[in-house]
Structure 1
Amino acid sequence: MAQSMNTYPCTAVIVFWLTSAAAAHAASKVDVTVTGRLTPDACLVTLSDEGVIDHGKILSHTLSDDVVTELPSRVLQLHVQCGRPMLFALVGLDNRAQSSLDPDVLYGLGRNIHAPAERLGSVALSYRNPVGDAQALQVLASDDSGETWRPASEAWPKTYIGFAPVGDRQPDFIGQLSAQLQIDTSINATQYLTLDQAVPLDGSVVLDLRYL
């Protein structure tokens, strides 16, 4: 998993025209261009274990033939640190969306490198126990890019995830956030997989921080 920040830069350009004139000479001019970039205070997003979940060796005979097999949940520690309290949301972007068993709510786990038509499974993300600026928070989700919010801990692909004091229905300004990111991995039913040789799992999700 990787981290990302959108700063929505604003560029200001000011042009000064300097003119002069003298008897018996044509007027001349020179352009002076002043540029700059205005950006919000940056927030830094970090994950424990460099954002890597390694399920190790999974023996094929331990997998279900006709239903998905759920692997043990894993947890990463998420931290967001901003230069000052900021209003932001986290958005999960799936780099393996075409391999997801349910792309609206689950992230893909990649395809079988030996049989590319086979989808290996899915990954579910959720946020637990968020704390912002030493205050317990609740998790909010938005399916319309931050227009409306609902309480929910599940982080579906492309869904905005915000954080607010318990009972509030709008994300709050936060300077420092910590939370547990729970990762639940499911392997597709083996009747749909060719497992006569080793197959690597290949899930990849970007957590994108977006300013609201």
Structure 2
Amino acid sequence: MFTFSRRLAALCLCLTATPALCASSVEIALTGVITPSACTPTLSSNGIVDHGRVPARSLNFYEFTKLPSQNLDLGVSCNEPVLFVLVGVDNRAASSVGPGFYYGLGNNIHAPLERLGSVSMALREAMGDDEPVLVLASSNKGETWFPESNVYPDLYIGFAPLGTLVPTPYRLISASLQIETSINAAAHLTLDQEVPLDGSIVLDLRYL
């Protein structure tokens, strides 16, 4: 299941205290940003990728079995040009067979230590305000950027005009989100009962 979250304002509550035997006060600091801009992200099919019933006998015994690719239409609509990024957050990170590169597919409900497989995502045919755009990524929260169409977990994903390596504000972004799902080798799975696939990824829209 793929869902979106939106962050319009951030509120941070911090408690600090001066070390002392008998501290008589604590300090509360509140920070945040209120932004007049707003963006609405959408995914086709309500963000659901359904692989249906996969016969256990169709799985490779010693290798991962790649399921048919599926695509979701991604759209981001803002009320004015806005500088934002998308960040993939893995709700099943503990089950990932390749943290940092692949999202997890959940664990076998009948054998909780068994990891079911992996999910990867990539953005194809990205358009910004009706013009082709370059998909960029940052692994250091926006300090530096490089071309990258794969949506790896926790990377900042931004958009820029072709030939530019700095994200640009856009009002409308559209792209095809390509989903690749692979099931772990059957030799590593207990498959004498039905096992539900349980991938869950959030695409978090964050303002820069």
2:8/2:34 contact within 8 Å kept: no
Q: Residues 26-45 of structure 1: CA distance to partner in whole angstroms, max 9, x if unpaired?
A: xxxxxxxxxxx832311000
2:48 aligned partner: 52
What is the TM-score normalised by the length of structure 1?
A: 0.86
Is the Cα–Cα contact under 8 Å of residues 9 and 39 in structure 1 kept in the other structure?
Answer: no
> Aligned match of 2:87 in 82, 88, 91?
91
Preserved CA contact (<8 Å) 1:42 1:82: yes
**Equivalent residues in 2 for 1:1-150, closer than 5 Å:** 1-9=2-10, 38-150=34-146
Q: CA RMSD in A?
A: 1.4
* Structure-1 separation of matches of 2:71 and 2:10: 34
Following TM superposition, by how much is the alpha carbon of 1:141 offset from its aligned partner in structure 2, in angstroms? 0.6
Identity fraction in percent: 53
Q: Which amino acid aligns with 1:6?
A: R
Rounded Cα–Cα distance in structure 1 between residues aligned with 2:10 and 2:98: 35
> Is residue 3–residue 47 contact of structure 2 (8 Å, CA) maintained in 1?
yes
SS in 2 for 1:38: coil
Q: As a proportion of its length, which structure holds more strand? A: 1
Letter of the 2:200 counterpart: S
**Number of residues of Structure 1 aligned to a counterpart in Structure 2:** 187
Q: Distance in 1 between matches of 2:82 and 2:150?
A: 22
Q: Which residue of 2 aligns with 1:185?
A: 181
**Unaligned segments of structure 1, at least 5 residues:** 11-36
User: Highest CA radius of gyration, 1 or 2?
Assistant: 1
Task: Identify unmatched segments of 5+ residues in structure 2.
Answer: 12-32
Quote how far apart the aligned CAs of 1:9 are. 4.7
5 Å-filtered alignment, 1:164-175, equals: 164-175=160-171
TM-score normalised according to structure 2 size: 0.87
Give a deviation string over 1:7-42, Cα, whole Å, max 9, x none.
Answer: 2358xxxxxxxxxxxxxxxxxxxxxxxxxx832311
Following superposition, which runs of at least 4 residues in structure 1 exceed 3 angstroms of deviation? none
